[in-house]
Amino acid sequence: MKKRIIIILLFIFIILTVISSYTVWSNNSVGPQFTGGDRLLIIGITSILFIYYMKLDRPAQLAHATIKTEKKEKDTNTKETFTKPKTTFEDVAGLDEVKEELAEVIDFINQSEKYKKMGAKIPKGILFHGPPGTGKTLLASAVAGETKSTFFSASGSEFVEKYVGVGAKRIRTLFEKAKKEAPSVIFIDEVDAIGAKRHLDSNNEKDQTLNQLLVELDGFNTDQTVVVIAATNRMDLLDEALLRPGRFDRHMYISNPNVRAREEILKVHTKNKPLCPKIEIKNLARKTHGMSGAHLANISNEAAIIAVREDAEVISLDHFDQAIERVIAGLQVRNPTVLQKEKEIVAFHEAGHALVGKILGTDMVQKVSIIPRGQALGYVLQMPEDDRYIYTQQELYHKIMVMLGGRAAEQLIFNHLSTGAKDDLKKATELGMQMVCDYGMSDLGYVYNEANMIHAMSNDLNKEMNHIVKGCFEKTIHQLKTYEKQLNDIAKALLDRETLNGDELEELLGDFKQAPVKTKEELEAV
Ligand SMILES: Nc1ncnc2c1ncn2[C@@H]1O[C@H](COP(=O)(O)OP(=O)(O)OP(=O)(O)O)[C@@H](O)[C@H]1O
Ligand SMILES: [Zn+2]
């Protein structure tokens, strides 16, 4: 209030100063008359008011600034949450090799004195890398749970701040707190957000944050039982400085679970759920090829929700099937408004995928459907029966052919190109490009093309990729022409029943022959 009055007075006196100066200098006889003495008085008062204002304002500004910084510190302090997790290794299914390696770290934390006496240094930095949803966070919290340590969990992206120095300060605070609460486990998810190669992403703030992380990793000594676990899906992006000995030098790959691990994970997540005795977890594990632990946790929960919705006493196989479908293909669209003509196109498109899969004997077709789900108007659920780690060139051609089966069927039956094959084309192009760049399966020879070289060679690469995809497409058309009757049968059945499961498809195709053995010329034509 006081400040406001001073500002108004100051404003009035500044105007008076201007007017008085004008009238004195110009000897103006019109308007208010000021003498030289008046003018001096006005200037004097204005100056006093100005000095007073400045004195009044500065402490206020300073006070304001202090409040602001205090608030910021409070904000930054509250972001790092810490807990004492109850998670143990029992909650983490599969991943036996990783758990074995972590046992040493756990022993170190639990019996740190023993190691310190020997002068052994604590393994400070562990890096989990691998695809998303594979249990990296779960494992880190289990390490804390097994050692009764304090668990600090943060995501790399939380440290990416607009203002230089803020991210670095937050890293410092995080480590300070962890040391105070030792023994502790610090978990930094998405570490690539701060630890990306410096030349790739030149950003001063990020560099400072990364440097601070390096300083902290180098800084703590053997007295402090603090273990830092970082996780990333993109290890290739990380700055080498982070991976050097003494920093994140223990790398553990956390892979997508294989069939045995999937079974274990499903057991963990169905432990407290009433299951129909007919359900064999082993079979569920086989049906969920390629899924991560997070997917499996989601499916188990989804199946339970469906059972509740249907007022069932126990969770049945059908509930699991519905849950798997929902997780893979998305939510079923209620009351879809698909035109009859579109339905026909979708029926032939999906029939094309399914039939090519059957002709080539690739992955097991579990279901074909033209019921819209998520953004897709139809879908084919296909799962390999076994976990596969290596594919031959021939098998990759077959994969591309199955992907193109939808478009090929549309072209064969309707002689048109439609927009419905966008995702298929994307996948086929990607796989074709991988064959050329990563696997040395083209006329460019047995070479591996690094991502940064791709730009310079993109014309050649594109030509080779196109050659592969085009060849596969022509072969697919040829296969579908050979089995056009079967294509029509599947499409008609789909229009009739909307969904066919694996057995129904088998029944429909009867004594359908496997693909005729290809001639040498045919193979070379691709
Ligand atoms: N091996 C596993 N055993 C039991 N549950 C698992 C396993 N892997 C994943 N899960 C389930 O999936 C959920 C998500 O896993 P988590 O968050 O640990 O994955 P993540 O690898 O950290 O993923 P992201 O890379 O996306 O951060 C877990 O909470 C758990 O329910
Ligand atoms: Zn398709």
Total tally of structural domains belonging to the chain: 4
Residue nearest to atom 15 of ligand 1 (CA): 135
CB-ligand 1 contact for 142 (6 Å cutoff): no
Radius of gyration of the chain (CA): 35
Question: Residue 10 corresponds to which amino acid?
Answer: L
CB-ligand 1 contact for 265 (6 Å cutoff): yes
My answer on whether 387 and 521 are in the same domain is: yes
Residue nearest to atom 30 of ligand 1 (CA): 294
CB-ligand 1 contact for 132 (6 Å cutoff): yes
In a domain, residue 304? The reply is yes
CATH number (domain holding residue 469): 1.20.58.760
* Among 33, 34, 40, 43, residue whose Cα is nearest residue 13: 43
According to the model, what pLDDT value does residue 112 have? 80
ipTM of the complex model: 0.95
- Residue finishing a domain among 253, 283, 314: 253
My answer on whether 134 and 54 are in the same domain is: no
In a domain, residue 334? The reply is no
In a domain, residue 335? The reply is no
pLDDT per residue over 316-368, tens digit each?
999 999 998 888 877 677 666 778 888 899 999 999 999 999 988 888 888 89
My answer on whether 88 and 75 are in the same domain is: no
My answer on whether 171 and 239 are in the same domain is: yes
pLDDT per residue over 384-396, tens digit each?
777 778 899 999 9
My answer on whether 178 and 125 are in the same domain is: yes
**Confidence check: pLDDT of 76 > 50:** no
My answer on whether 294 and 440 are in the same domain is: no
CB-ligand 1 contact for 87 (6 Å cutoff): no
In a domain, residue 199? The reply is yes
According to the model, what pLDDT value does residue 335 have? 66
- Active site (annotated) includes residue 350: yes
Sign of the CA dihedral with 186 first, then 188, 194, and 199 last: positive
Q: For residue 183, say if its preceding peptide bond is cis, omega within 30 degrees of 0.
A: yes
Alpha-carbon gap, residue 499 to 493, rounded angstroms: 8
* Residues in Cβ contact with 7 at an 8 Å cutoff, skipping those fewer than 6 apart: 53
pLDDT per residue over 34-55, tens digit each?
777 777 788 888 888 777 776 6
**Residue of 134, 191, 235 to mutate, ligand 1, most atoms within 8 A of C-beta:** 134
Alpha-carbon gap, residue 28 to 24, rounded angstroms: 7
Please tell me the least confidently modeled range out of 75-84, 108-117, 240-249, 305-314.
Answer: 75-84
* Among 416, 414, 411, 420, residue whose Cα is nearest residue 338: 420
My answer on whether 103 and 243 are in the same domain is: yes
Average pLDDT over residues 449-466: 74
Annotated catalytic residue, options 350, 385, 450, 506: 350
Mean residue pLDDT of the chain comes to 82
My answer on whether 180 and 274 are in the same domain is: no
* Residue 394 contacts residue 358 (beta carbons within 8 Å): no
Helix H or strand E segment including 526: none
Please tell me the least confidently modeled range out of 77-86, 297-306, 348-357, 482-491.
Answer: 77-86
**Confidence check: pLDDT of 70 > 60:** no
User: Confidence class of residue 29 from pLDDT cuts 50, 70 and 90?
Assistant: low
CB-ligand 1 contact for 136 (6 Å cutoff): yes
My answer on whether 162 and 59 are in the same domain is: no
From ligand 1's centre to the CA of 184, what distance in Å?
21
My answer on whether 480 and 513 are in the same domain is: yes
* Residue for token pair 């008011």: 49
In a domain, residue 501? The reply is yes
Q: In ligand 1, which atom is closest to the CA atom of 261?
A: 1
Which pTM was predicted? 0.69
My answer on whether 515 and 501 are in the same domain is: yes
According to the model, what pLDDT value does residue 452 have? 53
**Confidence check: pLDDT of 161 > 80:** no
Residue range(s) defining the domain that contains residue 510: 340-525
According to the model, what pLDDT value does residue 129 have? 92
Average pLDDT over residues 256-261: 89
My answer on whether 308 and 389 are in the same domain is: no
CATH number (domain holding residue 211): 3.40.50.300
According to the model, what pLDDT value does residue 386 have? 73
